[in-house]
């Protein structure tokens, strides 16, 4: 029995190797060429690939066995052709993305021949995924081949695992034990290959860094917060935000931030990316990313303590009392729903409005944020409108439930300069009409000078300076604020008249 298994292994694995070799020889070069040069070769080969993939492999194998005769080797070549498309697709997909990378452009500009670029720069990128795919396909090929043998369609005379299983299955009522060993051999082999492949893939994918795991720790009870003065809408005292670390423990990213916003006032929260501005803003909204939590401190909105508030009651505040205007307008609209339904849904849920009422109000809101054709925008999908328009829609959404406090996280950063000014004007108008308090997160001191009443400067998770805009911008006391201010001035002096938009980096 054992010797038959070993001998069978030779045939089973040998067959898989042939299939793989054929698939690699066909799939990789065609994928490289189609991905690198595109044009007609790409369209033709992609069409052929779709054709081959539409064919059920088993049926084709059975048919080709009928035509080409009864040898395992020929069948394995056919199988190689059938699985080649998976390599083609993989390689082509990667090459298409890599081809437009800057370093490939650079290599091309510096006069390297195409075949050298393919050999040196592109093959290296493709290598990893191909190894993964090889082990996956090998597992599948062994399974498929054994399946054929099992049906008695391979070469009847050579002992393979599939044939052994077939024989055992004939005797299933008498001696089901016979099936165990070839079954185990087959299962273990292909499982090992697939597991190997998928773990290599996981390692490759997770090289980017595992996101922190969520830890369900309750926030510490807020310390005795200084009681907020009357007229204060938002009061943050000694706020700390921490993220769960992978190996356990926590990493604090915001260390004891305190700030106040009075009703009807705008506070600019300034700092570089990574200084903890957005973390502070998200804490007020209660929408910290997974793994993050308020680890200390107190946040009160209109006198209500938010830290430690049950999620359901916090949710009741979101949208209604506290609203959020995000940074990137396009990625903050759900691409699958119309603008209208995205405006209507929160109003129906949080305010309990009827469908018709919510619709009328949504159109009104769109008109309020100065959108020219509200009816049409209402029916549009996010990809059909411009970035500036999308930001207006998001502002309309934030206004929809008449909030008292608006958290605006870099609301103009992602927009064109001309649109920025319009959106800022809109924000200022709405704020003064409605008497809302605004927490404006930004890295742009120009914006602060333009619309804020007070400003708080953050560095490394701490507030280093606060005061009225006039104080802070004319006589900055902290060196970091001075540097920030200097860099704004530098930038406006030195900025060249034209910048390539594709190389322009949007600060987060």
Partner 1 sequence: MLTFIARRIIAGVFLLFVISALSYVLLSLPGADVGRSLLGQSASAEAVAAKNQQLGLDRPVIVQYGDWLLHALRGDFGSSWFTSENVLTSISNRLPVTISVMAGVTIVTAVLSFLLGIWAAVRGGWIDRAVQIVSVVGYALPGFLITLILVIVFAVQLRWFPAIGYIDASVSLSGWLSTITLPIIALSIPAIAGVVQQVRGSVKDVLNRDYVRTLRARGLGPNRILFRHVMRNASAPALTVLGMQFVGLLGGAVIVEQIFGLPGIGSMTVSYTTRGDIPIIMGLIMFTVVGVILINLLIDVVIGWLNPKARIAS
Residue nearer to partner 1 on the CB measure, 17 or 57: 57
The residue within the footprint of partner 1, chosen from 3, 39, 336, 492 (CB under 8 A), is 336
How many positions of this chain bind partner 1 (CB under 8 A)?
Answer: 74
Token pair of 236 as six digits? 């943050």
Cβ neighbours of 360 (radius 10 Å): 13
The contact pattern for partner 1, residues 362-391, with x = CB under 8 A and - = no contact, is -------------------x-x--------
Determine, following the binding rule CB under 8 A, whether residue 212 of this chain makes contact with partner 1. Answer: no
CA distance from start to end of the chain:
65
Cβ proximity of 471 and 454 under 8 Å: no
Does 217 engage in binding with partner 1 (CB under 8 A)?
Answer: no
Choose, by CB under 8 A, the member of 158, 263, 350, 413 that binds partner 1. Answer: 350
Contact between 44 and partner 1 (CB under 8 A)? no
Nearer to partner 1, 322 or 484 (CB): 322
DSSP annotation string for 300-349: EETTEE-TT--HHHHHHHBTTTEEEE-S-TGGGS-TTS-HHHHHHHHIII
Q: Which stretch binds partner 1 (CB under 8 A): 65-73, 122-130, 245-253, 443-451?
A: 65-73
Q: Which of residues 398-437 bind partner 1 (CB under 8 A)?
A: 401, 407
Considering only 6, 21, 172, 486, the residue that binds partner 1 (CB under 8 A) is 172
Of these, 165, 423, 430, 455, which contacts partner 1 (CB under 8 A)? 165
Structure-token pair, residue 221: 């009870």
Closer residue to partner 1 in complex, CB, 36/324: 324
Stretch that binds partner 1, among 236-244, 394-402, 431-439, 451-459 (CB under 8 A): 394-402
Closest CA to 94 of 117, 128, 119: 128
Residue with smaller CB distance to partner 1, 153 or 353: 153
Nearest distance from C-beta of residue 382 to partner 1, angstroms: 9
Check the CA dihedral 97-101-105-108 and report its sign. negative
**From 1, 2, 54, 310, residue interacting with partner 1 (rule: CB under 8 A):** 54
- Does the protein bind partner 1 through residue 92 (CB under 8 A)? no
Find the binding residues for partner 1 in span 233-292 (CB under 8 A): 285, 287, 289
- Of 58, 104, 96, which Cα lies nearest the Cα of 79? 58
What is the Cα–Cα distance from 307 to 220, expressed in whole angstroms?
A: 9
Question: Using CB atoms within 10 A of its CB, is residue 6 exposed (0-12), middle (13-18) or buried (19+)?
Answer: exposed
- Out of 68, 124, 203, 217, which residue is the one contacting partner 1 (CB under 8 A)? 68
495 binds partner 1 (CB under 8 A): no
101 binds partner 1 (CB under 8 A): no
| Nearest residue (CB) to partner 1, 143 versus 476 | 143
Asked if residues 104 and 121 have their Cβ atoms less than 8 Å apart, the reply is yes
Q: Which residue has the tokens 């708080």?
A: 456
Q: Does 507 bind partner 1 (CB under 8 A)?
A: no
Asked if residues 339 and 381 have their Cβ atoms less than 8 Å apart, the reply is yes
SS3 256: strand
């Amino acid at each position: 029995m054992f010797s038959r298994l070993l001998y069978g292994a030779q045939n089973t694995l040998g067959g898989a190797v042939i299939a793989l070799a054929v698939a690699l020889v066909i799939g990789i070069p065609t994928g490289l060429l189609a991905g690198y040069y595109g044009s007609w070769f790409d369209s033709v080969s992609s069409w052929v690939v779709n054709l081959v993939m539409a064919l059920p492999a088993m049926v084709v194998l059975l048919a080709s066995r009928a035509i080409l005769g009864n040898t395992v080797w020929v069948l394995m070549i056919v199988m190689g052709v059938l699985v080649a498309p998976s390599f083609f697709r993989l390689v082509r997909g990667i090459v298409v993305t890599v081809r437009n990378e800057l370093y490939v452009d650079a290599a091309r500009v510096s006069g390297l021949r195409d075949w050298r670029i393919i050999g040196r720069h592109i093959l290296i990128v493709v290598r990893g995924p191909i190894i993964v795919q090889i082990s996956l396909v090998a597992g599948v090929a062994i399974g498929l081949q054994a399946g054929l043998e099992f049906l008695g369609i391979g070469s009847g005379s050579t002992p393979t695992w599939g044939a052994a299983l077939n024989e055992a299955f004939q005797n299933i009522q008498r001696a089901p034990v016979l099936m165990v060993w070839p079954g185990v051999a087959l299962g273990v082999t292909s499982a090992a290959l697939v597991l190997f492949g998928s773990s290599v893939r996981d390692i490759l994918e997770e090289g980017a860094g595992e996101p922190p795991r969520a830890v369900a720790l309750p926030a510490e009870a807020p310390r005795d917060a200084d009681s907020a003065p009357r007229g204060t809408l938002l009061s943050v005292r000694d706020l700390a935000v921490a993220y769960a670390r992978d190996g356990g423990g926590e990493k604090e990213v915001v260390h004891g931030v305190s700030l106040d916003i009075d009703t009807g006032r705008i506070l600019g929260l300034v700092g570089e990316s990574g200084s903890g501005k957005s973390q502070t803003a998200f804490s007020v909204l209660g929408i910290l990313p997974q793994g993050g939590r308020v680890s200390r401190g107190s946040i009160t909105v209109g006198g209500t303590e938010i830290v430690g508030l049950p999620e359901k009651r916090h949710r009741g505040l979101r949208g209604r009392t506290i609203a959020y205007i995000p940074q990137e307008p396009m990625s903050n609209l759900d691409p699958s729903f119309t603008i209208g339904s995205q405006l209507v849904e929160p109003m129906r849920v949080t305010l309990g409005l009827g469908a018709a009422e919510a619709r009328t109000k949504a159109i009104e809101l769109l008109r309020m944020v100065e959108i020219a054709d509200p009816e049409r925008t209402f029916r549009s999908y996010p990809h059909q409108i411009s970035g500036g328009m999308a930001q207006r829609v998001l502002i309309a959404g934030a206004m929809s439930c008449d909030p008292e406090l608006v958290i605006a996280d870099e609301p103009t950063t992602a927009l064109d300069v001309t649109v920025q000014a319009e959106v800022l004007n809109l924000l200022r108008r709405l704020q003064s009409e409605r008497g809302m308090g605004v927490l404006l997160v930004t890295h742009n001191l120009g914006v602060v000078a333009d619309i804020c009443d007070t400003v708080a400067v953050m560095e490394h998770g701490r507030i280093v300076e606060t005061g009225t805009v006039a104080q802070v911008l004319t006589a900055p006391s902290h060196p970091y604020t001075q540097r920030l201010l200097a860099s704004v001035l530098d930038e406006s002096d030195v900025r060249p008249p034209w910048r390539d938009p594709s190389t322009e980096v949007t600060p987060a």
